[in-house]
Amino acid sequence: MDTSVWTQDHAWAAETLESVNPATSEVIATFPVHGAAEVGAAVQRAREAAAWWAGLGYAQRRTRLLAWKSHLTRYLARLAELVHNETGKPLADAQLEIMLAIVHIDWAAKHARKVLGPRRVRSGLIAINQASLLEYQPLGVVGVIGPWNYPVFTPVGSIAYALAAGNAVVFKPSELTPAVGGWLVSSLREVVPEQPVLQLVTGGGETGQALALSGVDKIAFTGSAATAKKVMAACAENLTPLVAECGGKDALLVGADADLDAAADAAAWGGLSNAGQTCVGIERVYVAEEVYHSFLEKLAERAAAVRPGDDREADYGPMTMPAQVEIIERHIADALARGGRPVVGGLSSVSRPYVGPVILADVPEESRAVTEETFGPTLTVSPVRDLEEGVRRANDSSYALGSAVFSKNGRRALAAARSLRSGMTSVNSVIAFASVPALPFGGSGNSGFGRIHGADGLREFSRAKAITRQRMRPMADLTTLRRSDKDMNRVLQLITLLHGKRYR
Ligand code: NDP
């Protein structure tokens, strides 16, 4: 797809932004900076589209969304090239995130009716004269504000579920990845040409702010906790509900009985892939002390072999956002100043726009590299007595997004997984939960609130509608001004019979 179309389409825009390849600084395309008026007009158009789209019903929406999935699959190579150019990530990583997005569109399309469609529910003895119906209706227009690190997988996690639930979407991608955002919007238009059920607005934070203030029926935000607070404040103006998918400080726990090779592979990939620019990337590793040194050796060996670059053989690309490099430098410097030990790399690993792999051992828990999201290819590794202590340390964080546990003892691993406060945990792998569309995705604390993906993700973009239909007159009518004492006593007796039993 020729992305220059976006430049021509919006030649009238007063202000523009350039999308730039972070590895080569080459300009990919120019986009308008949309202000409140343009955002408001898009939301207005979306209102009409939403009514049309909701009216199509589940079956037709399913067909259209499956057609979108199929389009994305057939054009995967082109989209991956664009993701590679705009973010700098290796082509294979771009392909991987698109494949995951495809799986999510498929699931959302196929499960929307089952999860959201009308169903009868039991009315209970007290309301036995009522037929009760529950359904989940679309909200209307959903504003999606996306980040740049996974410019396909992350927004599609909201867009696909919002569309499957019957909403129209106005999407503001990060100013670093507007071309990928534009591609997604154009691709949906290929299969839904009648109405703009997915629209693109481009610009920086102010455009996002305008969308949050625009009176949409929900905002699905993915980004940092700091920005989420601003978005939430803007949403408060109209009591616009918000789902916030924010950052993480994910921990990987290694038990004494773990497969150390598998754990070291997972830590290396979870921490270093995509240059560590992954919300559910591993940033902290807690290892049972009996196996600490062997694990560290295996991890160091793997990390030392990793190389960033722009070529096809590189393991990961440049830092997409130049300003992030300073944060990474600060975290490494702070960890070393507090007595942390560099096992692989260190401050010298920073060579803009690239950051080589950095493994830091024995970093004090109060260091920034342990408490704040680094969002770079760095890992801290610390010894712990056992999995239980690992859980305690992992939970001692303002973030709670993802986590991983390695142990050959299934019962102990599951107990640890359950005790971890994070929204998602993978046992004996990393980030596996993101590839299971039936599982909800989201966190708590500084990692945000609400859920995308799965049945919870579909309900996140719906409003529950409860309907009762009176089938016959009640045995005892208590909701009338002509209520009798006899009826009241009858119901009181029934309630006592049903609920008055003592429980111990
Ligand atoms: P930011 O918080 O900087 O930005 C996120 C989005 O919000 C961007 O589109 C940004 O626009 C926009 N924005 C900025 N200011 C405002 C504002 N005042 N009002 C409304 N919108 C605004 O995050 P990044 O793009 O840097 O993404 C990285 C962060 O995202 C990390 O913390 C990462 O962990 C998190 N993340 C979380 C995921 C999850 O699912 N939990 C998945 C992926 C990333 P612009 O970029 O144009 O400034």
pLDDT, tens digit (0-9, with 9 covering 90-100), for 294-322: 999 999 999 999 999 999 899 999 999 99
User: From the CB of 324, is ligand 1 less than 6 Å away?
Assistant: no
Question: What confidence score (pLDDT) does residue 178 get?
Answer: 98
Percent of the chain at pLDDT exceeding 70: 97
Give the angle 238-239-245 at the CA atoms, nearest 5°: 115
**Cα(38) to centroid of ligand 1, in Å?**
21
Euclidean distance between CA atoms 397 and 444, whole angstroms: 11
81-93 pLDDT per residue, tens: 999 999 999 999 9
pLDDT per position as a tens digit, 27-76: 999 999 999 999 999 999 999 999 999 999 999 999 999 999 999 999 99
147 Cα: distance to centroid of ligand 1 (angstroms): 4
CA atoms of 145 and 478, how far apart (whole Å): 49
What is the rounded CA–CA span in Å between residue 410 and residue 433? 17
CA of 374 to the centre of ligand 1 (A): 15
pLDDT of residue 13: 57
Q: In angstroms, how far is the first alpha carbon of the chain from the final one?
A: 67
- Taking the CA of residue 203 as reference, the ligand 1 atom at the shortest distance is 47
Number of the ligand 1 atom closest to the C-alpha atom of 175: 47
Question: Which residues, including other chains, have CB under 8 Å from residue 153's CB and lie 6 or more apart?
Answer: 97, 98, 100, 101, 104, 434
283 lines ligand 1 (CB under 6 A): no
The Å distance, Cα 340 to ligand 1 centre, comes to: 30
Q: Which atom of ligand 1 lies at the shortest distance from residue 228's CA? A: 2
CB distance 223 to ligand 1 below 6 Å: yes
Report the residue among 227, 232, 282, 444 best suited for mutation to probe ligand 1: largest number of ligand atoms under 8 A from its CB. Answer: 227
Separation of CA 172 and ligand 1 centre (Å): 10
b/e string for 233-243 if b means 16 or more Cβ within 10 A?
ebbeeeebbbb
- The number of the ligand 1 atom at minimal distance from the alpha carbon of 157 is 40
User: Ligand 1 within 6 A of 230 CB?
Assistant: yes
245 ligand 1 Cβ < 6 A: yes
Among the atoms of ligand 1, which is closest to the Cα of residue 226? 2
Q: Ligand 1 centre and the CA of 132: distance in Å?
A: 42
pTM (predicted TM-score): 0.95
CA of 246 to the centre of ligand 1 (A): 8
**Ligand 1 in reach of 150 Cβ (< 6 A):** yes
Q: Is the pLDDT of residue 147 over 80?
A: yes
Kindly state the average pLDDT of the residues 231-253.
98
pLDDT(417) > 80? yes
Q: Is 460 a catalytic residue?
A: no
Catalytic residue from among 279, 283, 372, 460: 279
* pLDDT over 80 at 182, yes or no: yes
Q: Does residue 279 have an active-site annotation?
A: yes
For residue 33, the number of C-alpha atoms closer than 13 Å in the C-beta half-sphere is 11
Asked if the model's pLDDT at residue 181 lies above 70, the reply is yes
How sure is the predictor about 151, in pLDDT bands with cuts at 50, 70 and 90? very high
Q: How far is the CA of 153 from the centre of ligand 1 (A)?
A: 14
Average pLDDT, the chain: 96
Which of 86, 245, 372, 460 is labelled catalytic?
245
Q: Please work out whether the CB of residue 146 comes within 6 Å of at least one atom of ligand 1.
A: yes
Q: What is the pLDDT of residue 361?
A: 98
Total count of residues recorded for the chain: 504
* Per-residue pLDDT tens over the stretch 357-403: 999 999 999 999 999 999 999 999 999 999 999 999 999 999 999 99
399 CB contacts (<8 Å, ≥6 apart)?
A: 246, 247, 248, 249, 250, 373, 443, 445, 446, 447
pLDDT for the residue numbered 353: 94
Cα separation, 287 vs 297, in Å, equals 12
- Cβ within 8 Å of residue 42, ≥6 positions away: 34, 170, 196, 199, 201
Asked if residue 204 has its Cβ within 6 Å of ligand 1, the reply is yes
Q: Which atom of ligand 1 is nearest to the CA of 245?
A: 41
Give me 434's structure tokens. Answer: 């993101």
Residue 8: per-residue pLDDT: 36
Whether 12 shows a pLDDT value over 60: the answer reads no
